[in-house]
Amino acid sequence: MPPEKLYVLHENPAWYAPLAAAFDRAGLPHEQWLLGDAVLDLDAEPPAGVFWSRMSASSHTRGHPYAKDQTRGVLAWLAGAGRRVVNGRRVLELEMSKVEQLAALRAAGFDVPRTLAVAGATELAAAARKLPVPFISKHNQGGKGLGVRLFATHAEFDAYLAGPDYEPPVGGITLLQEYLAAARPEITRVEVVGGEFVYAITADTARGGFELCPADACVVPAAGGPAQPSLFTLRAGFSDPVIGRYLDFAARHEIEIAGFEFIETADGRLVTYDVNTTTNYNAEIEAVAPRPALAALTEFFWRLLGSAADR
Ligand SMILES: Nc1ncnc2c1ncn2[C@@H]1O[C@H](COP(=O)(O)OP(=O)(O)O)[C@@H](O)[C@H]1O
Ligand SMILES: [Mg+2]
C-alpha cells in the first residue's frame, strides 16, 4: 500500500503554494488534484488517504467551467468508496450557491440580508423595485466579489442591465440584496478550521471595495506607488457569541473549514452574508495570529490521516 496522503481537490494552483509550504514544513504528505478536464473511471478504487475539497465558486472565471460538475462526481465517487472527505458533497453545494448559504443561515436563526434570488434577466428590473435603495446585486455563484455592485437608484440599475458592463451570472441566478450600512467601514471574517475557531479578521471596505480575497495570490501590486498597508487586520480578542453559533452551524452542515463573513450595521445588527468554504489565508495575518490557520489545518489533517490509517 502506498503511504496515506492528503489529497487536495481544487483548480487554482496559485492558491496551493502557501498550503503546500505549511504541509511540507510539518512533513505532512500531500498532493494536489487539479479538477477541470479529466477522466474519472467510476470502476477505479480511489487512492488511500484523506480528501479535502477546495473547489471554488469562482472556478469558471479561471477557465475551468467544468470543474464544479466534475467535483460533484468525484465527491460522490469518493463517498461511495467510504473515503474521508473534508468539506464534501453537501458543502460543495453551499459553496456554489449564496441562496443555499442564506437559506441555511436564516433557518439557523442568523440575521441575514433581505435577498431576492432572480432566475434569468427578464424579471431583474421589476424585482429590484421590491427593495428600497440603495441595494446590492451579486451573482448567486460568486466568490471574489463577482458581480457585486451597489446601486443608488432603480434607474441606475436599469441602465446597468442595458449597458456594456452587465455581466450575466454563471448559472443564471442574480441576487438582489438589502444594502447593509456598516457602523464602521469594515467587514469581519471568522475563520473556522477543523470545526474550531482560529481567529477573526477585519477587511477595510473603505479602501478595499467589494473584492476582498485575502489570499496573497489575489493581491494586485500598486504600479510604482508606495507600499499600501494591508486591507486585512487581525481582530484580536474577538469573542462575540456569534462564534459559537457559527461553530454549531458548521457542525450541522458538515462544514469543517470555512470563513464566515458579517457586517455590524449602523443600526446595531450583526448580519451574516457569506460563507466561504474555499478560504485562503493572508500571510501577514498568519504571522501575527496567536493560532495561525495553517498550523491548525496541518494539525487537523495529521489527526485525520492518523485515524484513517487506524481503520
Ligand atoms: N448586502 C451587502 N451590503 C453591504 N455590503 C455588501 C453586501 N453584500 C456584499 N457586500 C460587500 O461586498 C463584498 C463581497 O460580497 P460577498 O457576498 O462576500 O461575495 P463574495 O462571495 O464574492 O465574497 C463583501 O465582503 C462586502 O464588503
Ligand atoms: Mg465574501
Render pLDDT for 95-104 as a digit per residue (tens, 0 to 9): 999 999 999 9
The CATH homologous superfamily to which domain 115-178 belongs is ATP-grasp fold, A domain (3.30.1490.20)
Kindly report which listed range (153-162, 221-230, 247-256) carries the lowest average pLDDT score.
221-230
Long-range interactions of 230-233: CB distance < 8 A, separation 24+: 230/282, 230/284, 231/203, 231/204, 231/207, 232/201, 232/202, 232/203, 232/204, 232/282, 232/284, 232/285, 233/201, 233/202, 233/204, 233/285
- Cα–Cα distance for residue pair 187/102, rounded to 1 Å: 17
User: Residue 262's pLDDT is what?
Assistant: 98
pLDDT in tens, 171-188: 999 999 999 999 999 999
- Is a pLDDT exceeding 60 seen at residue 311? no
* Length, in residues, of the chain: 311
45 band by pLDDT with thresholds 50, 70 and 90: very high
**From the CA of 195, how far away is ligand 2's center (Å)?**
20
**From the CA of 306, how far away is ligand 2's center (Å)?**
33
Residue from 210, 270, 280 whose mutation best tests the ligand 1 pocket (most atoms within 8 A of CB): 210
* Residue nearest atom 1 of ligand 1, based on CA coordinates: 179
Q: Which amino acid is present at 187?
A: I
pLDDT in tens, 187-228: 999 999 999 999 999 999 998 777 766 776 665 555 555 667
pLDDT in tens, 14-40: 999 999 999 999 999 999 999 987 889
Phi, psi of 175 (to 5 degrees): -100, 135
User: Residue 36's pLDDT is what?
Assistant: 86
Residue 159, SS3?
helix
CATH match of 5-94+299-310 with 3.40.50.20:
yes
- Cα–Cα distance for residue pair 89/9, rounded to 1 Å: 12
Residue from 261, 264, 277 whose mutation best tests the ligand 1 pocket (most atoms within 8 A of CB): 261
pLDDT in tens, 72-98: 999 999 999 999 999 999 999 999 999
Which helix (H) or strand (E) covers residue 7, if one does?
A: strand 5-10
Domain boundaries, the chain: 5-94+299-310, 96-110+182-290, 115-178
- Cα–Cα distance for residue pair 11/31, rounded to 1 Å: 13
Please determine whether the domains at 96-110+182-290 and 115-178 fall in the same fold group of CATH. Answer: no
Contact 289, 199 (CB under 8 A): yes
Mean confidence (pLDDT) of the chain: 93
Say which residue the cell 496515506 belongs to. Answer: 4
- Is a pLDDT exceeding 90 seen at residue 69? yes
**pLDDT above 90 as % of the chain:** 86
Which helix (H) or strand (E) covers residue 98, if one does?
A: helix 98-107
Q: How far is CA 285 from the centre of its chain?
A: 17
Nearest to 143 by CA among 70, 197, 62, 198: 62
**DSSP for 223-270?**
SSSPPPPPSEEE-TT---THHHHHHHHHHHTT--EEEEEEEEBTTS-E
CATH match of 96-110+182-290 with 3.30.1490.190:
no
Residue from 115, 138, 232 whose mutation best tests the ligand 1 pocket (most atoms within 8 A of CB): 138
Q: What is the DSSP letter of 172?
A: S
Q: Which amino acid is present at 292?
A: P
Nearest to 213 by CA among 194, 250, 187: 187
1 band by pLDDT with thresholds 50, 70 and 90: low
Q: Which amino acid is present at 148?
A: V
Quick one: cell of 12?
487554482
Lining ligand 1 with CB less than 6 A are 113, 136, 138, 142-146, 148, 177-180, 187, 205, 210, 212, 261, 263, 273-274
- When pLDDT is averaged across residues 2-14 and rounded to a whole number, the result is 90
**From the CA of 183, how far away is ligand 1's center (Å)?**
15
pLDDT in tens, 283-296: 999 999 999 999 99
- Cα–Cα distance for residue pair 138/147, rounded to 1 Å: 5
